[in-house]
Amino acid sequence: KVVDDTIVLSASGFAGGLAIGTLAANQFIIGSAATTAAHRVIYNSTTGGLFFDVDGVGATAATQFAILDPALLPTNADFLVIA
């Protein structure tokens, strides 16, 4: 259940301008790809794939780092960034 879980991301491990604390709302998107330069965490609700994109819509491709249940509807508040 999304309300019970928190996904912890390491700012030093993921880089890409993540600030310590709750993931910024503008850095999270539900979809198949980033649509702005700010997007860093992408949840594909069709496949359940969770991706990190170091440069949003830039040239570097997003990397899948986890698979979640496709029925989930996480928000940025479900992600905690630590050092």
Helix (H, G, I), strand (E, B) or coil at 25: helix
The tens digit of pLDDT for each residue in 18-74 reads: 999 999 999 999 999 999 999 999 999 999 999 999 999 999 999 999 999 998 999
Sign for the CA dihedral angle at 23, 39, 59, 62 comes to positive
Mean predicted confidence (pLDDT) in 2-21: 91
Model pLDDT, residue 18: 97
> Is residue 49 within 8 Å of residue 30, measured between CB atoms?
no
The residue ranges of every structural domain in the chain are: 7-81
Task: Output the pTM of the full model.
Answer: 0.94
Rounded to whole angstroms, how far apart are CA atoms 72 and 46? 10
pLDDT of residue 29: 99
Give the number of other CB atoms < 10 A from CB of residue 67: 11
Tell me, what's the pLDDT at 2?
64
Average pLDDT over residues 5-9: 96
